[in-house]
């Protein structure tokens, strides 16, 4: 008999039981639906041992690597400590060591931490300030940069957290950082696969990290970045991206502007239209989509219709809380 630990409690899993059946029998509230490994509503994460491979069927490769599994089809092979995706792991403290404008609206924030912290470039964390206000932001750097996390934060007019970062947050101040979350990151293994990355505004943050990671891991297939914004206030790192394209033969960069008054050097149009019309088929491509939720959700569908496999589409929509005004 195997034991299942969740939070402070440990339960025995009977030989013929799944992890989900054990937890439900013990009145632990776990969202669930089909109980056949199809709907993925009960998705959990093993915090210690690797889950059985059969219990990860159908999950994205990036989630499998992080030990996510489906408890409804999991007959444990060893004792497991598990958590729901929204159960926070250990958080750490970090201090602001750099704050600089990338555009009139977007701040480059660099935090330094001292405790051990694991992440993949492109994942996101929840940042919490001293009074408890918390928002999600994507990590823009690769783990090789020791003890540093970089963020690109766009100021929303009257946005509580982003305006505070922009106007008030000072060097040396501490923020609390949750464990890194999300499946939108690079995985080595299919080095020749073409990559297409599409982002709007500060959606470049995770894509920047993913590109740096792919290049650092010798990705040899073409890497196409399309960065879009309505106007120039949303585009940044233009010179850096052009320098990267000059340095790496397999990296291509297309900045796009969708507004009326644009300079001739930029491609005009909506970033996802331009990106998707650049190729006949997306069959065999790996796609990364980050930024405005409308763009992300629409492009996910369009990329699938154009031949990309759903398993090869990685996305983070920058949803904002809907605040009554």
What are the residues binding ligand FAD (CB under 6 A)?
124, 135-138, 151-154, 156-157, 159-163, 202, 205, 316, 318-323
CB-nearer residue toward ligand FAD: 207 or 241: 207
Cα 280 to Cα 304: distance, rounded to the nearest angstrom? 13
Which residue's CB atom is positioned nearest to ligand FAD? 159
The least distance separating ligand FAD from the CB of residue 194, rounded to whole angstroms, comes to: 25
- 177, 92 Cβ separation under 8 angstroms: yes
CB-nearer residue toward ligand FAD: 152 or 224: 152
List residues bridging with 107 in a β-sheet.
Answer: 101, 153
The least distance separating ligand FAD from the CB of residue 181, rounded to whole angstroms, comes to: 8
CB-nearer residue toward ligand FAD: 44 or 205: 205
Q: Which candidate, 8, 73, 15, places its Cα nearest to that of 44? A: 73
Q: Which candidate, 200, 214, 287, 276, places its Cα nearest to that of 244? A: 214
The least distance separating ligand FAD from the CB of residue 79, rounded to whole angstroms, comes to: 32
Q: Is 140 helix (H, G, I), strand (E, B) or coil?
A: coil
Q: Residue 221 class from Cβ within 10 Å (0-12 exposed, 13-18 middle, 19+ buried)?
A: middle
Q: Is 316 helix (H, G, I), strand (E, B) or coil?
A: strand
The least distance separating ligand FAD from the CB of residue 50, rounded to whole angstroms, comes to: 26
The least distance separating ligand FAD from the CB of residue 220, rounded to whole angstroms, comes to: 28
CB-nearer residue toward ligand FAD: 163 or 250: 163
- 193, 214 Cβ separation under 8 angstroms: no
Cα 214 to Cα 189: distance, rounded to the nearest angstrom? 10
CB-nearer residue toward ligand FAD: 128 or 250: 128
Q: Sheet with 223-229: list strands edge to edge.
A: 267-268, 251-257, 223-229, 195-200, 286-291, 313-317
CB-nearer residue toward ligand FAD: 170 or 247: 170
CB-nearer residue toward ligand FAD: 20 or 63: 63
The least distance separating ligand FAD from the CB of residue 155, rounded to whole angstroms, comes to: 7
The least distance separating ligand FAD from the CB of residue 218, rounded to whole angstroms, comes to: 26
């Amino acid at each position: 008999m195997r034991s299942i630990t969740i939070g402070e409690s440990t339960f025995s899993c009977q030989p013929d039981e799944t992890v989900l059946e054990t937890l439900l029998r013990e009145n632990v509230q776990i969202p669930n639906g089909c109980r056949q490994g199809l709907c993925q509503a009960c998705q959990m994460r093993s915090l210690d041992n690797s889950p059985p491979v059969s219990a990860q069927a159908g999950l994205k490769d990036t989630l499998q690597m992080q030990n996510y599994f489906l408890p409804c089809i999991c007959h444990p092979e060893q004792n497991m400590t598990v958590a729901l995706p929204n159960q926070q792991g250990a958080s750490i403290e970090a201090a602001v060591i750099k704050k600089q404008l990338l555009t009139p609206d977007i701040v480059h924030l660099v935090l330094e931490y001292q405790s051990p912290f694991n992440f993949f470039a492109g994942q996101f964390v929840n940042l919490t300030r001293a009074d408890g206000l918390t928002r999600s932001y994507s990590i823009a750097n690769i783990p090789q940069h020791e003890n540093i996390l970089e963020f690109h934060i766009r100021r929303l007019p009257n946005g509580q957290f982003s305006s505070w970062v922009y106007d008030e947050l000072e060097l040396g101040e501490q923020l609390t950082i949750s464990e890194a979350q999300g499946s939108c990151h690079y995985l080595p293994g299919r080095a020749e696969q073409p990559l297409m990355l599409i982002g709007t505004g500060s959606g470049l943050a995770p894509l920047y990290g993913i590109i740096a990671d792919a290049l650092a891991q010798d990705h040899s297939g073409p890497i196409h970045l399309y960065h879009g914004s309505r106007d120039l206030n949303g585009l940044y790192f233009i010179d850096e991206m052009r320098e990267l394209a000059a340095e790496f033969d397999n990296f291509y960069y297309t900045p796009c502007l969708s507004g009326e008054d644009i300079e001739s050097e930029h491609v005009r149009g909506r970033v996802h239209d331009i990106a998707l019309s650049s190729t006949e088929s997306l069959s065999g491509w790996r796609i990364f989509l980050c930024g405005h939720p409308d763009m992300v959700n629409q492009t996910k569908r369009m990329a699938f219709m154009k031949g990309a496999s759903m398993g090869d589409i990685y996305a983070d929509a920058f949803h904002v809380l809907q605040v009554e005004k």
